[in-house]
């Protein structure tokens, strides 16, 4: 006797069988498509999913709810089909006009010195600290090299130059945050830490908190993927009021990067500073400075993050990045909130605007997507 399959409606059409972590492992993690966003671990109601060094694994009891699968940004088709026109318009209220996505306004600002951040991250830190100071959001969730938000969110000891989920509750916390990420950290676990710990500690469940998120493009996709899934993840993802993405840059798998570094007597634990050059990265540890050309590190490139071609964070309110031959830091304001925030920051002198030719920058951004 054949059994009739039940269906669930979703924005991508009805699904006939709810997918669970076992499917995520088979479809995404094992084939190397995982972008290490931490959404699966953050949404799992039983804490069964844990982020290990390079990927999530199931270490607890799965009750087959399916939350993890539908919060994973990679379980849509690779180019985010089903998330394109309609959803893009519903997010930004505008259709996409350029290859790099919807945008309302482009800015070019002067770099700021920050020993704990690459130039794009340094600008993001300024903006996020300003938002905390003005009360535009209560907490910032990000991945950095500060203490993890809670030890319980990671069940291995994370150390050295590895990303970990972090939160900043005060402007000073944000200003002193240690970024310079070259390995991804599970950003969405930071959001969970913000919601669970910050709300529990300060708000006693009375007010929904407002979270700002800083993450790479792929992790911003996780937020929208979760919001538009049948589960919605209301408690976790609807608290987010502002998203900043830095432009995609090279990310490495910690385990593989460590193997390469160890050939030169370095390790992710011993690194004290990192500097990007045009075609290479400098790793500094004590008196030792080792320069690796990008091709030397190719075998450690994060396969999941490299496979999604979202180079500027197309679903964030604000994208921040560097372009070859452009002196300042480029900001793409996609939402109205981002435009008004940046105009305020420039008006108050927190950021300093530079002269630029908008068409020239738009062409350069489009060229990124053509591989130029
Ligand atoms: S309990 Fe739900 S969210 Fe957790 S692993 Fe199982 S299917 Fe995924
Ligand atoms: S991409 Fe994110 S949600 Fe998907 S398996 Fe990896 S960590 Fe989990």
pLDDT per residue as tens digits for the range 308-352:
788 999 999 999 999 988 999 999 999 999 999 999 999 999 999
What is the atom index within ligand 2 of the atom nearest the CA of 51?
Answer: 7
User: Ligand 1, from 19, 44, 188: best to mutate by most atoms within 8 Å of Cβ?
Assistant: 44
Angle separating helix axes 119-134 and 336-347, nearest 10 degrees: 90
Is the same domain home to 331 and 357?
Answer: yes
pLDDT band for position 201 (cuts 50, 70, 90): very low
User: Could you tell me where the DSSP H helices lie in the chain?
Assistant: 21-24, 39-43, 67-71, 85-92, 119-134, 171-175, 187-193, 217-227, 234-237, 254-262, 303-307, 336-347, 358-369
Average pLDDT over residues 198-212: 67
Choice between 78 and 184, residue whose per-residue pLDDT is larger: 184
Q: Is 37 among the domain residues?
A: yes
What are φ and ψ of residue 221, in 5° steps?
-60, -35
Q: Quick check: 336 and 104 in contact, CB under 8 A?
A: yes
Is the same domain home to 263 and 156?
Answer: no
Average pLDDT over residues 235-241: 86
Q: Is 10 among the domain residues?
A: no
Question: So what's the pLDDT on residue 170?
Answer: 93
Q: Quick check: 268 and 254 in contact, CB under 8 A?
A: yes
CA distances from 88 to 299, 362, 365 (A): 34, 19, 19
Which domain-ending residue is among 300, 329, 357? 300
Q: Is 8 among the domain residues?
A: no
Q: Is 245 among the domain residues?
A: yes
pLDDT beyond 80 at 200: no
Ligand 1 and 71: CB distance under 6 A? no
Triad 64, 36, 219: Cα angle to 5°: 100
pLDDT band for position 104 (cuts 50, 70, 90): very high
pLDDT beyond 90 at 214: yes
Residues composing the chain: 372
Residue % of the chain over a pLDDT of 90? 59
According to the per-residue pLDDT averaged within each range, which of 17-21, 70-74, 323-327, 361-365 is highest?
361-365
What is the atom index within ligand 1 of the atom nearest the CA of 43?
Answer: 3
Handedness of CA 319, 331, 305, 126 (dihedral sign): negative
Q: Is 3 among the domain residues?
A: no
Q: Is 5 among the domain residues?
A: no
What is the atom index within ligand 1 of the atom nearest the CA of 60?
Answer: 5
Average pLDDT over residues 4-22: 70
pLDDT beyond 90 at 365: yes
Is the same domain home to 54 and 79?
Answer: yes
Whose tokens are 């004590």? That residue is: 286
Whose tokens are 């994060």? That residue is: 302
Choice between 278 and 29, residue whose per-residue pLDDT is larger: 29
pLDDT beyond 90 at 108: yes
Which domain-ending residue is among 279, 300, 321? 300
What is the atom index within ligand 2 of the atom nearest the CA of 218?
Answer: 1
Is the same domain home to 170 and 273?
Answer: no
Is the same domain home to 92 and 57?
Answer: yes
**Could you read off the pLDDT of 143-181 as tens digits, one per residue?**
998 887 766 666 667 888 888 899 999 999 999 999 999
pLDDT beyond 90 at 9: no
User: Ligand 1, from 24, 63, 233: best to mutate by most atoms within 8 Å of Cβ?
Assistant: 63
pLDDT band for position 241 (cuts 50, 70, 90): very high
Ligand 1 centroid – CA 47 distance (Å): 8
Q: Is 66 among the domain residues?
A: yes
Question: So what's the pLDDT on residue 331?
Answer: 98
pLDDT beyond 60 at 252: yes
Is the same domain home to 341 and 293?
Answer: no
Ligand 2 and 240: CB distance under 6 A? no
Average pLDDT over residues 291-295: 95
**Closest-approaching ligand to the CA atom of 21:** 1
Ligand 1 and 63: CB distance under 6 A? yes
Domain that holds residue 193: 21-252+303-369
User: At 291, which CATH number?
Assistant: 3.10.450.750
Triad 134, 138, 144: Cα angle to 5°: 105
Q: Is 12 among the domain residues?
A: no
Is the same domain home to 119 and 227?
Answer: yes
Is the same domain home to 169 and 235?
Answer: yes
Question: So what's the pLDDT on residue 159?
Answer: 82
Model-level pTM? 0.92
**Closest-approaching ligand to the CA atom of 33:** 2
Is the same domain home to 335 and 352?
Answer: yes
Ligand 2 and 34: CB distance under 6 A? yes
Helix (H, G, I), strand (E, B) or coil at 44: coil
Ligand 1 centroid – CA 48 distance (Å): 7
Is the same domain home to 152 and 188?
Answer: yes
Question: So what's the pLDDT on residue 142?
Answer: 94
**Could you read off the pLDDT of 28-40 as tens digits, one per residue?**
999 999 999 999 9
**Closest-approaching ligand to the CA atom of 226:** 2
What is the atom index within ligand 2 of the atom nearest the CA of 49?
Answer: 8
The chain-wide mean pLDDT, for the chain, equals 87
Q: Quick check: 345 and 318 in contact, CB under 8 A?
A: no
Is the same domain home to 314 and 230?
Answer: yes
Is the same domain home to 183 and 229?
Answer: yes
**Could you read off the pLDDT of 35-71 as tens digits, one per residue?**
999 999 999 999 999 998 889 999 999 998 889 998 8
Number of domains in the chain: 2
């Amino acid at each position: 006797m054949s059994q009739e399959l039940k269906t669930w409606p979703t924005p991508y059409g009805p699904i006939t069988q709810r997918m669970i972590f076992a499917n995520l492992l088979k479809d995404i993690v094992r084939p190397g498509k995982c972008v290490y966003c931490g959404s699966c671990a953050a949404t799992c109601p039983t804490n069964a999913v844990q982020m290990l060094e390079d990927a999530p694994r199931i270490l607890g009891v799965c009750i087959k709810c399916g939350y993890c699968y539908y919060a994973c940004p990679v379980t849509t088709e690779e180019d985010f089909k089903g998330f394109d026109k309609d959803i893009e318009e519903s997010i930004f209220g505008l259709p996409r006009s350029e290859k790099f996505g919807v945008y309302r306004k482009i800015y070019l600002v002067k770099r700021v010195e920050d020993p704990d951040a690459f130039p794009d991250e340094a600008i993001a830190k300024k903006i996020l600290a300003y938002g905390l100071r003005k009360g535009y959001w209560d907490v910032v969730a990000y991945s950095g090299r500060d203490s993890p938000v809670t030890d319980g969110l990671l069940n291995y000891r994370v150390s050295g130059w590895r990303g970990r989920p972090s939160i900043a509750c005060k402007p000073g916390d944000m200003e002193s945050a240690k970024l310079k990420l070259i390995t991804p950290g599970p950003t969405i676990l930071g959001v969970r830490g913000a919601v669970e710990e910050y709300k529990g500690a300060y708000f006693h469940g009375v007010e929904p908190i407002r979270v700002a998120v800083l993450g790479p493009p792929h992790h911003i996709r996780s937020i929208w993927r979760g919001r538009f899934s049948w589960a919605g993840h209301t408690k976790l993802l609807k608290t987010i009021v502002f998203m900043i993405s830095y432009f995609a840059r090279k990310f490495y798998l910690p385990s593989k990067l460590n193997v390469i570094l160890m050939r030169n007597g370095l390790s992710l634990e011993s690194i004290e500073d990192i500097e990007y050059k045009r075609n290479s990265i400098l790793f500094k540890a004590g008196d030792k400075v080792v320069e690796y050309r990008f091709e030397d590190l190719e075998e450690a490139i994060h396969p999941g993050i490299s496979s999604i071609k979202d180079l500027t964070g197309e679903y964030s309110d604000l994208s921040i990045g560097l372009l070859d031959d452009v002196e300042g830091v480029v900001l793409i304001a996609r939402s109205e909130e981002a435009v008004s925030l940046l105009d305020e920051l420039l008006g108050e002198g927190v950021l300093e605007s530079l002269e630029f030719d908008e068409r020239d920058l738009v062409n350069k951004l489009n060229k990124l997507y053509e591989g130029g």
